[in-house]
Amino acid sequence: MSLVLAHLWTSTVVLLIALILARLLPLTARTRHALLLCALFKFAIPPLQAIGIDLTTFGRGSTGTIAIQWLGGPPTLRTLAAPAASRWPQALALAWVICAAVLALAWALARHRLVVSALHAVKPAAPREHAALTAARHRLGLRASVDVVRSTICEAPAVVRIVRPVIVLPDGGCDALDEAELESLLRHECAHVARRDNLLGLVESAIVAAFWFHPLVWIAQRAIATAREEACDETAAATADGMETYVSALSKICRAVLAPRLAGVSCMASAHLKERLHHLMRYELLRNRAFSHRFVVAVAAVALLAVTLGSGMHATPTATSNDPNAPFKLNFVVRPGSQPNMLVFVGRIVDAKTGDAVSQPIVTFPRGSNATLRADVAGRQFDVEVRDLQPNVMARLRVTENGIQQQDSTYLAVPQTDRPANSPYTGARISINLKDAEIKNVLDTFSRIIGAPIEYPPSLEGTVTLDVKDMPWDEAFDLILREQGLTFEHQGNKIVVKK
């Protein structure tokens, strides 16, 4: 949840800055559209941690060091009481997804019905309209295939479909236009095809549907829609005499559509027509003093990349190994394994408040490689990543509860070569060489060595491979049990082994 909130906050700030800059800076509609769309796309870029990329330890081996504790003695594992998990995060997430899916489905069905209806009632375009389309494509250098038809249900010219786009003209609505005006009008529609506005609009709608609860996203969508039409207006009126011709075409097409219809029927071409005409009137002056389109887009892309990487560095404040408020601590030792070029990691995850051992991860892995371990205890997920950095070994502890990361601690240690002087193991030293020995037989052997009974479950199975020399018996016993995932406790004069 913290990752989601951090992502929303960062994306909101980026979009707000883009909206302000788009209004204050001298930008053409084309540049304004690119700037706003780039900022809106920030919502679609997930946090790096959410896709498994973490930059918090990039370029450094650890966030802290610990004194190595040689683990020993009879461990007592206690089952932690499962916390009372709140269902509100799951309920909110479910409501979020349902509303987004419903909105996206409604938009998809509406768009599908519009396209089907428009193409169902089509008529062949007039020869002059085909000729105007050819001239418009040639003027824009558009190589993509695009066709033009007439439709009895369309109120204004529109481009439908992403693949094999079709320009749909209102039936009879363009008859009042001369060849130059018709070509300028089709240049506007061809500009939508060249800019791939239908595809970008689909992605834009998906983002708005996913973040339906965010008012700034809806504001941005309206601003992007206006900028998109104004950008195509700029393309259509870009020639020396194109301004007057295109304005005349807009006026005629709107009058042709509205004339035979009843009052209250909206005209798609007249949407924001006043603002679009005002923009066209000042476009020549704006183009001369506007910032470079390539420069603004490049700066926006670099800024977006920087914000994304920056959020990856700082999106989730987590506890470090030297943080006294860290809820859990990882004590561990790394020593050479019984096989050449192998290391044995033996750890103990401890609840910082109670001192209870929560989990005892143990793994044998080759030198120079990594190993990962996972344990689920009382609704929490403990992930331990062990990495041999040579000469040090890095251990990273991540604690997650209900999908929310509680802790991310990194530790650094040096593999042991000899038993430390303060080792708690005090048993008589033994040398033992085992290969695929039955665990029951091994426990019986240790029972004879220590002269005390060792009880274990009748269903206990497994084999032991171990080669140690001059090691205290209790250390070897502890190591064998840990490698088998077993625990033990003293009950009077006997040792009880538990799974």
CATH of the domain at 441: 3.30.1370.120
Mean pLDDT, contiguous 10-residue spans, the chain (499 residues):
77 94 93 94 77 47 34 36 55 89 92 84 88 91 90 83 89 82 90 92 93 94 92 83 82 58 38 74 85 93 86 47 72 71 79 78 81 84 86 85 84 64 63 83 85 86 78 78 77 79
Last residue of a domain, one of 281, 298, 314: 281
Judgement on whether residues 130 and 274 belong to the same structural domain of the protein: yes
**Assigned token pair, 207:** 């983002």
Q: Are 100 and 215 contained in the same domain?
A: yes
pLDDT of residue 48: 61
Residue 66 lies in a domain: no
- For residues 336 and 276, membership in a common domain is answered with no
Domain-ending residue, one of 413, 441, 474: 413
Last residue of a domain, one of 351, 379, 413: 413
Tell me, yes or no, whether 67 lies in a domain.
no
**Cβ contacts of 113 within 8 Å, gap of 6 or more:** none
Does one domain contain both 219 and 344? Answer: no
Per the CB < 8 A criterion, the answer to whether 173 and 226 are in contact is: no
Instruction: Identify the pLDDT of residue 71.
Output: 35
The counts of H helices and E strands in the chain are 13, 17
Number of structural domains found in the chain: 3
Q: 110 and 248: one domain?
A: yes
> Are residue 159 and residue 198 in the same domain, yes or no?
yes
What is the model's pLDDT at position 375? 83
448 and 387 assigned to the same domain: no
User: What is the rounded distance in angstroms from the CA atom of residue 334 to the CA atom of residue 347?
Assistant: 9
Q: Are both 226 and 358 inside the same structural domain?
A: no
Q: How far is CA 38 from CA 153, 204, 303, 315, 389, in A?
A: 34, 10, 10, 21, 40
Among residues 246, 243, 247, the alpha carbon closest in space to that of 285 is found at 243
Phi, psi of 462 (to 5 degrees): 140, 165
Both 152 and 243 in one domain: the answer is yes
Shared-domain flag, residues 136 and 254: yes
pLDDT at 72: 36
Residue type, 106: A
Residue 433: phi and psi, rounded to 5, are: -130, 105
Within-domain flag for 302: no
Q: What is the CATH number of the domain that holds 343?
A: 2.60.40
Residue 391: asked if its preceding bond is cis (omega within 30°), the reply is yes
| The pLDDT value given to residue 496 | 85
Residues 6+ apart with CB under 8 A from 197: 159, 228, 232
Distance (Å) of CA 156 to CA 144, 150, 233, 320, 411: 22, 10, 15, 61, 66
Is residue 105 one of the residues assigned to a domain? yes
Domain range for 386 is 328-413
163 closest CA partner among 132, 199, 190: 199
Three-class SS state of 154: coil
- 452 with 476, same domain: the answer is yes
DSSP string, 443-468: HHHHHHHHTS-EE--TT---EEEEEE
Whether residues 263 and 387 share a domain: the answer is no
**pLDDT score, position 339:** 66
- The pTM score is 0.61
Which residue from 169, 285, 178, 187 is spatially nearest to 239, judged by alpha carbons? 187
* Residue 317 neighbours by CB under 8 Å, 6+ apart: none
